[in-house]
Structure 1
């Protein structure tokens, strides 16, 4: 099953709001607030790679107050 880890930088003070928005996405397995370079880390999976990419592009990247996104797609081998 295709899996990705998404590292997000959010507008200052909006981390909880972004976290709540991400929890509403069905493909999200885990979401946590973190401290350091990134503000939120997301683990998501889908039935196929195209759907996974669509969720990242059309749902996560379009959340208001998300400044930057780093996507790490897990290798299947």
Structure 2
């Protein structure tokens, strides 16, 4: 099962709102606010690489107040 970790930059003050929306996506297995260069870290599992790409591109990156993402695909 394809697995990815995604780091997100979020507009200041909107971190909780974005985190709440992320947690509503079934394929997101973990979502955490973090300190540092990025604001949020998520773990995503999907049935296929294509589905994983679609979730990141069409669901996560389209959430209001998400400024940017950095995706790391896990290898087995």
Q: TM-score range by the shorter chain?
A: over 0.9
Q: Which residue in the other structure is 1:12 paired with?
A: 12
For residues 47 and 41 of structure 1, the distance between their equivalents in structure 2, rounded to whole angstroms, comes to: 20
With normalisation by structure 1, the TM-score equals: 0.96
For residues 3 and 56 of structure 2, the distance between their equivalents in structure 1, rounded to whole angstroms, comes to: 11
Q: How does 1:1-77 map onto structure 2 within 5 Å?
A: 1-76=1-76
Any unmatched runs of 5+ in structure 1?
none
Runs of 4+ aligned structure 1 residues displaced above 4 Å come to none
Residues 8-42 of structure 1, C-alpha deviations (whole Å, 9 max, x = no match):
00001100000000000010000000000000000
In the alignment of these two chains, the number of paired residues is 76
Q: Report how far residue 75 of structure 1 moved.
A: 1.1
Any unmatched runs of 5+ in structure 2?
none
